[in-house]
Amino acid sequence: MRSRRPDTTTGIVAVVCGSRPSSETPSRDDSTLRAFDRQTALLGLDYVDMYMIHWPTPFDWRAAETWRAFVRLRDEGRVRSLGVCNFLPEHLDRLRSETGEYPGVDQIECHPTWQQRDVASYCRSRGIAVEAYSPMARGADLDAGDGLIRAIAREHGVSCAQVILRWHIENGTIIIPKSVHAERQRENLDLFGFSLTPAEHAEIDALDGPTRAGHDPLTFSYA
């Protein structure tokens, strides 16, 4: 099977490696390479633009072993870029100390009511791109701020989702909004016909809170 490699206009094909080796697996490298082969076969590809470690699992740390297998895939030309998900600064530092490099991207939960500014700032200061998953808190943040998002949306003649996604764009955050509806997909792409005022942006910044929508990277395990 030959590669069906996306050109630079088609965006990133992201494959997340969250699998764990079985007790019969001779090495973590072998397990990771087999996972890659299985996942790319399902995609009908033998190349992806980005491959990512899904969770740090600091209580059962294996990221450095996995990363070394990732580097092999990159060196073989089967992956263009390497990233991680849900890594906090201490995990990024440990990965670098054990492998000699930082990831290109850290994909984290990030939305108006859970902004993780310390993680985002840390990443950017080290050249790590920040990518937001659940950029609208699975829809919960559309009603954030006692109607604040709705009021800003009315002012600009756009949807609440567009306001939040525009806020992410202005923060320099990569966003991956999810929708199965064609109209919402088109809406999610239409973010460059308006800008938030500095006051509006600051109001959304002020929505930051103490509650995440997803799992805690310090404790979550896929086992």
38-79 residue pLDDT tens: 999 999 998 999 999 999 999 999 999 999 999 999 999 999
- pTM of the model as a whole: 0.87
- pLDDT of 147-176, one tens digit each? 999 999 999 999 999 999 999 999 999 998
Portion of the chain with pLDDT greater than 70, in percent: 87
- pLDDT of 85-113, one tens digit each? 999 999 999 999 999 999 999 999 999 99
- H helices of the chain, in order, are 28-43, 63-75, 89-99, 117-125, 148-156, 160-170, 182-189, 198-205
- pLDDT of 180-195, one tens digit each? 899 989 999 999 999 9
Domain ranges of the chain: 11-103
Which of 210, 219, 176 is closest to 56 using CA atoms? 219
Helix, strand or coil, per DSSP, at residue 39: helix
Average pLDDT value for residue range 4-29: 44
